[in-house]
C-alpha cells in the first residue's frame, strides 16, 4: 500500500513510518497541512493518515478539500484530543477512521490496513462471505462450516460478520468494540477476549483447522492460512 | 477622604446639591420680587401721589399753605420725610431734613436713594443720632410761570426698616442656601462612606483572594438589595473558580504522586540494566514498555476526567434510554462475568428517558462492572437495575454480593487515585470511580453507595455494595 502520512511531530512520524514500512508499505511523509494537500493531489495513495493539528492547514480542512475534489482515498485521523465530539467532527470532514494519540502501533497498522483493504474491495455489496470452509450469508443470516449449520447469537453474528469482512487482516479489540458494539472507550476487563473465545468455541471447536486466531500484542485475525 | 470624594455616589450627591441650590435660588428670587419689589413700587406710588397733592396745593394756595401742611405732616416722627426750601431766601421753610441731600440735585425729577441722620429719643429719653436711608423725589415748584425763583421740595419715605428687612431676608436666604449645600455635602459624604464601606468589603475580599486565599467570600448582609445580589453572584463565581482550581490542583498533585513512582522505577530499572547482559536488558525494556503503557492509560484517564469535569467532554447530551444502555452493557459483560463466576441479573422497569450521553453513561456502567468483577471477589451475582425514581427521573444501580465497602470508606473511593488497602494488589489506577463521579456530575446525577446484595452464606460481614446513580427529571 502507498500511504501518505501527514504529521508535524517528526519523531512520532518517524515511529509510525518505520512501523508501516516494516509491514511492507510505502510511506510518504508531509510535515504540514499544505505540503500534505499538495502531495495528496499529486500522488496516488491507498490511504491517508492525517494528524488533526497541523501547521499551515489543519487536518480537517486538508481532507475536506480533497473530498471536494472527489478524492475518495480512505483517511484515518490521528488526534491528541479524542473525545466523542472530535471523532464526530473528524468523520464529518470525510474521515473513515479515527485514532487517538498515544496509540499502540499495531492498532494503527491494523486500522490502516483495514482502510486499504476496503478500497481494494469497494462498494460491490457482498452478502456472502467465505473463509476456508466457513460461510456466512448476510441475507439469510445463516452460518455454515463444512456444510454444518452453526447457530449464533445476534451479537456473535455481527462479530463474526465483521471478522469475515476483514478476513486475513488483524483486527484489534478496540476496532471490535467500536464497530460491533459502538463504544469508544476501553473497558478494563477483557470483555472482548471472552466474546471471542465464545465465538471460537462455536466456529472452531470440533474442526481440524482453527480459523479464528489470536495475534499476540495486536488482536485477532480470521484466516484460512497458517 | 479623597477616595470618598471620588465615589460615584458622592458625585451624584453633588449634582443633586447643585440642582437643589439652583431651585432654592430661583424660588428666593421669585419671593424677593413678589414681596420687596412690590413694596418698593408701592412706596414710589405713594411719593408720586404726595407730590401731586402738594403741587396742587402750591398752585392753588401758595407757598404759605404748603409750609403749613408740611409742618403738620412732619410733626409726627413716622417714616414720612419732607423738606421745603423757600424760593428767594433759600431757607428751609419746613420739613424734617436739615440739609438738601446731594443726590437730590443730580437726580432732579427722578427717584433717588439717600442717607441722612436723624435724632430720636430712645427708651431712656436720651437723644440718639441714627443713620437712616430713604427714597424720595426732588421737585421745583414755581409760584408763577414767569417767576425766576422756584421753591425746592423733597418728598421721601424712610426705607431703613425695609432695607433692614431686605438685608435680613437676604442673609437668611443665603444662610439657608449655605446650610442646604453643607447638608447635601455631608449627607453625600455619609452616603458615599456607607457605600464605599460596602464596596470596600468586596475589594478587601478580592485583594485577599488575589493574595492567594481562595476560600475568602464576600459577607452577604441579607438586605436583598442590589449590592447583596452582586455579592451573591460574585460568591457563586468564586465557588466555581475555587472548584476548578481545586480540580486543577488535584490533577497536578495526583499526576505528581502517581507518575513519580513509575518514572523512578523506570529510571532505576534502566540504569541497573546498563550494567547487565543482553537478556536482562531486553527484560528491562519490556518492563519499561509495560510501565509506560500504564502511565499513558493513567494520563488518558486523568484527561478524560478533566474534560468531562470542565463540561467539554460531555459531548452531545440527548434523549437517552437507560434501559437500552444497561441491556447492551449486560450483553457485553455477560461472558466475562460468567468466566469470573458471576451471574449478571438484569432488572428493568419502564423508565422515563434521561438527558445524557450514551457513551458516557455506558462508560460509567462499564466502570461499575469492571469494579464488581475486580473487587467483589467471592461473589456470585451482579445486579444491574434501572427503575423510575420516586419523584421523576431515573435510577441506575449496580449491586454485588462481594465483601462490600465500609461505610467510612464510601466517600473516599470517589476521589482520584484512592485505592483501599484491600485492593492495593489488584491492577488499576484508582481513577475508575473518579471518572464515574465526573460523568455523574456532567449529567446532574447523584451518586451514592449502599449495602449491596445480602450474601446468603455470609456471617454478616459481607454486605456487598450497591452503587446508585440517580438521574434528574428529563427537562427538554
B141-154 in b/e form (b: 16+ CB < 10 A) is beeeeeeeeebbbb
Residues B292 and B433 in one domain: no
**pLDDT score at B24:** 81
Q: Who among A83, A181, A197 is closest to B332 (CB)?
A: A181
A183 contacts in chain B (CB < 8 Å): 332, 359, 362-363, 366
**pLDDT score at B311:** 63
Residues A88 and A151 in one domain: no
**pLDDT score at B281:** 87
CB atoms within 10 A of CB A80: 14
Residues A40 and A68 in one domain: yes
Domain closes at, from A83, A99, A120: A120
B295 contacts in chain A (CB < 8 Å): none
CA distance readout (Å), B218 to A206, B191, B460 = 76, 21, 50
Residues B3 and B107 in one domain: no
Residues B193 and B278 in one domain: no
Domain closes at, from A67, A88, A120: A120
Residues A156 and A64 in one domain: no
Judge whether A189 is closer than 8 Å to chain B, CB to CB.
yes
Residues A18 and A106 in one domain: yes
Residues B145-159 pLDDT 10s: 777 778 888 888 888
**pLDDT score at B420:** 59
A50, A93 contact by CB (below 8 A) = no
CATH code (residue A116): 3.40.50.2300
Please indicate whether, in this complex, the C-beta atoms of A183 and B359 are within 8 angstroms of each other.
yes
Residues B356 and B466 in one domain: yes
CA distance readout (Å), B136 to B48, B55, B110, B112, B169 = 9, 15, 8, 6, 23
Q: Which residues contact B137 (CB under 8 A, 6 or more apart)?
A: B47, B48, B51, B109, B110, B111, B112, B154, B155, B156
Residues A9 and A75 in one domain: yes
Judge whether A190 is closer than 8 Å to chain B, CB to CB.
yes
Residues A103 and A192 in one domain: no
**pLDDT score at A84:** 57
**pLDDT score at B365:** 92
**pLDDT score at B315:** 57
Does residue B445 register a pLDDT over 80? yes
Residues A100 and A36 in one domain: yes
pLDDT band of A23, cuts 50, 70, 90: confident
B382, B400 contact by CB (below 8 A) = yes
Grid cell, residue B451, equals 449495602
In this prediction, what percent of chain B has a pLDDT beyond 70?
Answer: 90
Burial of A56 (0-12, 13-18, 19+ CB in 10 A): middle
Weakest-pLDDT range from A29-38, A117-126, A156-165: A117-126
Judge whether A194 is closer than 8 Å to chain B, CB to CB.
yes
Domain holding A109, by residue range, is 2-120
Residues A56 and A109 in one domain: yes
Does residue B97 register a pLDDT over 70? yes
**pLDDT score at B459:** 55
What mean pLDDT do residues B112-138 have?
79
**pLDDT score at A103:** 81
Please tell me which of B55-64, B370-379, B386-395 the model is most confident about, judged by mean pLDDT.
Answer: B386-395
Residues A178-203 pLDDT 10s: 889 888 887 878 889 999 999 999 88
What mean pLDDT do residues B462-468 have?
82
What mean pLDDT do residues A157-181 have?
89
Give the Cα separation of B344 and B338 in Å (integer): 8
pLDDT band of B4, cuts 50, 70, 90: confident
Domain closes at, from B263, B278, B309: B309
**pLDDT score at B312:** 57
**pLDDT score at B316:** 66
* Residue B1 or residue B262, greater confidence: B262
* Residue B194 or residue B329, greater confidence: B329
What mean pLDDT do residues B59-63 have?
81
Weakest-pLDDT range from A122-131, A147-156, B100-109: A122-131
Q: Is residue B219 part of a domain?
A: no
Q: Is residue B369 part of a domain?
A: yes
User: Which of residues 334 through 373 in chain B touch A, CB cutoff 8 A?
Assistant: 335-336, 338-339, 357, 359, 362-363, 366-367, 369-370, 373
Does residue A47 register a pLDDT over 70? yes
Q: Hunting for cell 420687596 — which residue is that?
A: B36
Residues B168 and B139 in one domain: no
The domain total for chain B is 4
User: Which of residues 70 through 129 in chain A touch B, CB cutoff 8 A?
Assistant: 82-85, 88, 100, 102, 104
CATH code (residue A174): 1.10.10.10
ipTM above 0.85, yes or no: no
Does residue A29 register a pLDDT over 80? yes
Domain closes at, from A68, A93, A120: A120
Residues B98 and B244 in one domain: no
How many angstroms separate the CA of residue A83 from the nearest CA in chain B?
Answer: 6
Residues B20 and B166 in one domain: yes
Q: Is residue B455 part of a domain?
A: yes
Domain closes at, from B255, B276, B309: B309
In this prediction, what percent of chain A has a pLDDT beyond 70?
Answer: 94
Residues B367 and B290 in one domain: no
Residues B315-347 pLDDT 10s: 567 888 899 999 999 999 998 988 888 899 999
Residues A150 and A176 in one domain: yes
Average pLDDT value over all residues in chain B: 81
Residues A150 and A44 in one domain: no
**pLDDT score at B386:** 92
A50, A78 contact by CB (below 8 A) = yes
Domain holding B150, by residue range, is 75-158
CA distance readout (Å), B30 to B34, B166, B180, B260 = 6, 14, 18, 88
Residues B427 and B443 in one domain: yes
How many angstroms separate the CA of residue A193 from the nearest CA in chain B?
Answer: 8
How many Å separate Cα B382 from the centre of its chain? Answer: 55
Q: What is the DSSP letter of B219?
A: P
How many angstroms separate the CA of residue B456 from the nearest CA in chain A?
Answer: 27
Give this prediction's pTM: 0.61
Give the Cα separation of B80 and B420 in Å (integer): 115
Residues A116 and A151 in one domain: no
Residues B88 and B236 in one domain: no
What mean pLDDT do residues A96-100 have?
86
Give the Cα separation of B269 and B266 in Å (integer): 5
DSSP string, B57-85: HHHHH-HHHHHHHHHHHHSS-SSEEEEEE
The domain total for chain A is 2
**pLDDT score at A196:** 92
Grid cell, residue B247, equals 480540580
Q: Is residue B378 part of a domain?
A: yes
**pLDDT score at B416:** 59
What mean pLDDT do residues A44-71 have?
86
Does residue B422 register a pLDDT over 70? no
* Residue A80 or residue B171, greater confidence: B171
Residues B117 and B258 in one domain: no
Residues B115 and B140 in one domain: yes
Q: Is residue B445 part of a domain?
A: yes
Residues A167 and A82 in one domain: no
Amino acid at each position: 500500500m502507498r500511504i501518505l502520512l501527514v504529521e508535524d511531530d517528526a519523531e512520532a512520524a518517524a515511529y509510525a513510518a518505520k512501523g508501516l514500512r516494516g509491514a511492507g508499505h510505502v510511506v510518504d511523509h508531509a510535515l504540514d497541512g499544505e505540503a500534505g494537500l499538495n502531495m495528496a493531489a499529486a500522488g496516488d495513495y491507498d490511504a491517508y493518515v492525517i494528524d488533526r493539528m497541523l501547521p499551515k492547514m489543519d487536518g480537517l480542512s486538508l481532507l475536506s478539500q480533497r473530498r471536494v475534489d472527489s478524492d475518495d482515498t480512505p483517511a484515518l485521523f490521528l488526534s491528541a484530543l479524542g473525545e466523542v465530539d472530535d471523532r464526530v467532527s473528524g468523520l464529518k470532514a470525510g474521515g473513515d477512521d479515527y485514532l487517538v494519540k498515544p496509540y499502540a502501533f499495531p492498532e494503527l497498522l491494523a486500522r490502516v490496513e483495514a482502510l486499504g483493504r476496503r478500497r481494494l474491495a469497494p462498494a460491490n455489496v457482498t452478502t456472502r462471505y467465505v473463509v476456508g470452509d466457513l460461510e456466512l450469508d448476510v441475507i439469510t443470516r445463516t452460518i455454515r462450516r463444512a456444510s454444518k449449520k452453526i447457530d449464533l447469537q445476534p451479537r456473535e453474528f455481527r462479530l463474526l460478520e465483521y471478522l469475515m469482512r476483514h478476513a486475513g487482516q488483524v483486527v484489534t479489540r478496540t476496532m471490535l468494540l467500536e464497530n460491533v458494539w459502538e463504544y469508544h472507550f476501553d473497558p478494563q476487563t477483557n470483555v472482548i477476549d471472552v466474546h471471542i473465545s465464545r465465538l471460537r468455541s462455536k466456529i472452531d471447536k470440533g474442526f481440524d483447522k482453527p480459523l479464528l486466531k489470536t495475534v499476540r500484542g495486536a488482536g485477532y485475525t480470521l484466516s484460512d492460512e497458517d | 477622604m479623597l477616595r470618598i470624594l471620588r465615589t460615584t455616589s458622592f458625585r451624584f450627591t453633588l449634582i443633586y446639591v447643585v440642582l437643589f441650590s439652583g431651585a432654592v435660588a430661583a424660588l428666593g428670587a421669585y419671593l424677593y420680587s413678589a414681596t420687596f419689589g412690590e413694596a418698593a413700587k408701592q412706596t414710589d406710588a405713594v411719593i408720586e401721589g404726595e407730590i401731586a397733592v402738594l403741587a396742587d396745593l402750591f398752585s392753588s394756595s401758595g407757598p404759605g399753605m404748603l409750609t403749613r401742611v408740611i409742618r403738620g405732616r412732619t410733626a409726627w416722627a413716622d417714616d414720612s420725610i419732607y423738606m421745603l426750601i423757600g424760593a428767594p431766601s433759600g431757607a428751609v421753610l419746613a420739613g424734617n431734613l436739615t440739609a438738601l441731600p446731594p443726590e437730590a440735585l443730580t437726580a432732579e425729577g427722578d427717584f433717588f436713594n439717600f442717607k441722612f441722620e436723624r435724632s430720636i429719643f430712645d427708651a431712656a429719653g436720651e437723644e440718639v443720632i441714627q443713620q437712616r436711608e430713604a427714597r424720595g423725589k426732588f421737585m421745583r415748584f414755581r409760584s408763577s410761570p414767569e417767576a425766576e425763583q422756584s421753591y425746592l421740595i423733597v418728598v421721601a419715605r424712610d426705607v431703613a426698616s425695609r432695607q433692614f428687612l431686605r438685608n435680613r431676608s437676604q442673609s437668611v436666604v443665603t444662610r439657608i442656601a449655605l446650610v442646604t449645600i453643607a447638608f447635601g455635602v455631608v449627607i453625600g459624604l455619609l452616603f458615599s462612606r456607607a457605600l464605599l464601606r460596602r464596596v470596600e468589603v468586596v475589594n478587601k475580599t478580592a485583594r485577599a483572594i488575589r493574595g492567594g486565599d481562595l476560600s475568602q467570600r464576600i459577607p452577604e448582609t441579607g438586605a436583598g438589595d442590589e449590592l447583596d445580589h452582586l455579592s451573591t453572584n460574585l460568591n457563586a463565581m468564586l465557588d466555581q473558580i475555587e472548584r476548578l482550581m481545586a480540580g486543577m490542583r488535584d490533577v497536578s498533585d495526583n499526576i505528581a504522586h502517581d507518575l513519580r513512582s513509575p518514572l523512578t522505577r523506570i529510571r532505576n530499572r534502566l540504569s541497573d540494566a546498563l550494567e547487565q547482559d543482553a537478556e536482562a536488558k531486553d527484560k528491562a525494556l519490556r518492563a519499561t514498555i509495560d510501565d509506560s503503557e500504564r502511565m499513558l492509560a493513567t494520563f488518558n484517564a486523568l484527561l478524560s476526567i478533566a474534560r468531562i469535569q470542565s463540561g467539554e467532554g460531555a459531548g452531545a447530551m440527548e434523549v437517552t434510554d437507560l434501559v437500552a444502555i444497561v441491556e447492551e452493557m449486560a450483553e457485553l459483560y455477560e461472558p466475562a462475568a460468567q468466566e469470573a463466576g458471576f451471574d449478571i441479573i438484569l432488572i428493568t422497569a419502564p423508565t422515563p428517558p434521561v438527558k445524557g450521553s450514551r457513551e458516557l453513561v455506558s462508560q460509567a456502567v462499564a466502570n461499575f462492572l469492571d469494579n464488581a468483577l475486580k473487587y467483589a471477589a467471592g461473589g456470585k451475582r451482579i445486579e444491574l437495575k434501572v427503575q423510575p425514581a420516586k419523584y421523576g427521573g431515573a435510577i441506575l444501580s449496580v449491586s454485588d454480593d462481594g465483601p462490600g465497602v465500609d461505610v467510612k470508606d464510601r466517600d473516599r473511593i470517589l476521589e482520584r487515585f484512592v485505592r483501599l488497602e484491600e485492593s492495593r494488589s489488584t491492577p488499576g489506577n484508582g481513577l475508575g470511580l473518579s471518572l464515574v463521579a465526573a460523568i455523574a456530575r456532567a449529567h446532574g446525577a447523584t451518586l451514592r453507595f449502599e449495602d449491596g446484595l445480602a450474601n446468603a452464606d455470609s456471617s454478616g460481614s459481607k454486605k456487598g455494595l450497591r452503587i446508585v446513580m440517580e438521574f434528574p427529571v428529563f427537562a427538554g
